[in-house]
């Protein structure tokens, strides 16, 4: 049955895969009739998507219905789930329903179980911010999709430069393709440096600057990320994940645990080898200092959700906390 589940927070990769499928399925001459794009955050449009998917295509090619923000595998109301169940067997062989969502399908839902039994499922998750190998693999995969070859050092430099911004990755790869030209061979790290220059930064570097008590440097790195269109709340989430990992490692080591595999599992870190790096990073830091960093991030997140400008929220959260720490040290 032609039902497709596309989920994951790597929106750029998800959109590229979707565009490729639409191009293969829909006849351009009939696209205005046979291609529908709807928004599942509106229940009426979710119902309409089911209705249109049941309609046979006109002319040549297939009918494609794309439902962004699909509710069917998340918090799906019972009435909508019943309409989905009634529609599934009525979708014609030359009709295709693409259900798109950022989040992973909720495996507990009956609607998810039903869809997974008959649908073609593809996931597009972003690698964790600390997963350097995953970030590089993502860059290499995106380059291969465009027929580009990256030298290993170039893939690493590009991964460091773009962080988790999939849209920017697509843009940078287009520039690198033009720079290399047809038959230009593998793209080098020098080419990446020439085109991207001093934009190389990541949320990991921000966390390391905060850990070293260099708030001015952390703010400059955040400003660079914001200028590269990295979402402010995503920076906060990445920093919180990084600092929580440090905190787990610190607490477990204080309790006497030395097995890196045990520490990695407890901290939710996929690669136990990363524990050796984290131990070096937090050497001389107490759990109280790491908890203080998390509190500062909570202040930043609260300010952002109250509508503060991202740059101001980070400056206030980082600098004011640093001043307060300095005042406390002076009184002591």
Is the domain defined by 132-199 classed in CATH 2.130.10.10?
A: no
- Sheet containing 63-68: give its strands across: 35-39, 63-68, 95-101, 3-7, 120-123
pLDDT, position 171: 78
Alpha-carbon separation of residue 91 from 22, 165, 188 (angstroms): 17, 36, 48
Q: Using CB atoms within 10 A of its CB, is residue 32 exposed (0-12), middle (13-18) or buried (19+)?
A: exposed
**Is there a contact between 223 and 235 (Cβ–Cβ < 8 Å)?**
no
What's the pLDDT score for residue 224?
Answer: 83
pTM: predicted TM-score of the whole model, two decimal places: 0.57
pLDDT at res. 172: 81
Q: At what angle do helices 232-254 and 260-267 cross, to 10 degrees?
A: 140
In our burial notation (b when 16+ CB lie closer than 10 A, e otherwise), range 276-315 reads eebeeebeebebebbebbeebbebbbebbeeebebeebbb
SS3 category, 123? strand
Domain 3-123 sits in CATH at: 3.40.50.300
pLDDT of residue 22: 95
For 5, 91, 194, 288, 326, the CA distances from 329, given in Å and listed in that order, are: 55, 69, 44, 15, 5
Predicted confidence at residue 214, as pLDDT, reads: 87
Q: Where are the domains of the chain?
A: 3-123, 132-199, 203-319
Task: Give 42-56 as a DSSP string.
Answer: SHHHHHHHHHHHTSP
Q: Which fold has domain 203-319?
A: Zinc Finger, Delta Prime; domain 3 (1.20.272)
Helices 260-267 and 274-281 meet at what angle, rounded to 10?
Answer: 80
Q: In residues, how long is the chain?
A: 332
Distance CA 217, CA 154 (A): 26
Identify which of 142, 182, 184, 186 has the alpha carbon closest to the alpha carbon of residue 162.
142
User: What angle (nearest 5°) sits at the alpha carbon of residue 215, between those of residues 213 and 219?
Assistant: 150
State which residues of the chain have pLDDT below 70: 1, 128-132, 163-165, 182-184, 196-202, 269-271, 320-332
The pLDDT score that the predictor gives to residue 327 is: 46
């Amino acid at each position: 049955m032609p039902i497709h589940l596309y989920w994951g927070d790597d929106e750029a990769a998800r959109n590229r895969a979707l565009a490729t499928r639409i191009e293969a399925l829909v006849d351009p001459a009939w696209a205005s009739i046979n291609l529908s794009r709807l928004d599942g955050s509106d229940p009426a449009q979710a119902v309409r998507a089911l209705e249109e998917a049941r309609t046979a295509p006109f002319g040549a090619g297939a009918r494609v219905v794309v439902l962004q923000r699909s509710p069917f595998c998340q918090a799906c109301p019972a009435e909508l789930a019943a309409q989905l169940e009634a529609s599934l067997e009525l979708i014609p062989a030359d009709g295709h329903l693409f259900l798109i969502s950022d989040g992973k399908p909720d495996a507990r839902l009956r609607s998810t179980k039903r869809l997974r039994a008959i649908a073609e499922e593809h996931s597009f998750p972003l690698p964790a911010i600390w997963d350097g190998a995953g970030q590089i693999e993502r860059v290499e995969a995106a380059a291969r999709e465009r027929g580009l070859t990256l030298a290993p050092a170039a893939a690493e430099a590009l991964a460091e430069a773009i962080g988790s911004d999939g849209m920017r990755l697509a843009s940078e790869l287009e520039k690198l393709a033009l720079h290399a030209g047809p038959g230009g061979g593998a793209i080098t790290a020098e080419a990446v440096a020439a085109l991207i220059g001093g934009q190389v930064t990541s949320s990991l570097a921000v966390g390391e600057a905060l850990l070293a008590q260099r708030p001015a440097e952390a703010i400059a790195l955040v400003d660079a990320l914001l200028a590269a269109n990295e979402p402010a709340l995503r920076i906060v989430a990445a920093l919180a994940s990084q600092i929580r990992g440090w905190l787990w490692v610190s607490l477990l080591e204080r309790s006497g645990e030395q097995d890196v595999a045990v520490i990695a599992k407890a901290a939710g870190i996929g690669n136990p080898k990363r524990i050796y790096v984290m131990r070096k990073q937090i050497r001389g830091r107490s759990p109280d200092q790491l908890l203080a960093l998390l509190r500062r991030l909570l202040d930043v997140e609260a300010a952002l959700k109250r509508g503060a400008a991202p740059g101001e929220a980070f400056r206030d959260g980082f600098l004011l906390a640093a001043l307060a720490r300095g005042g406390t040290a002076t009184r002591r």
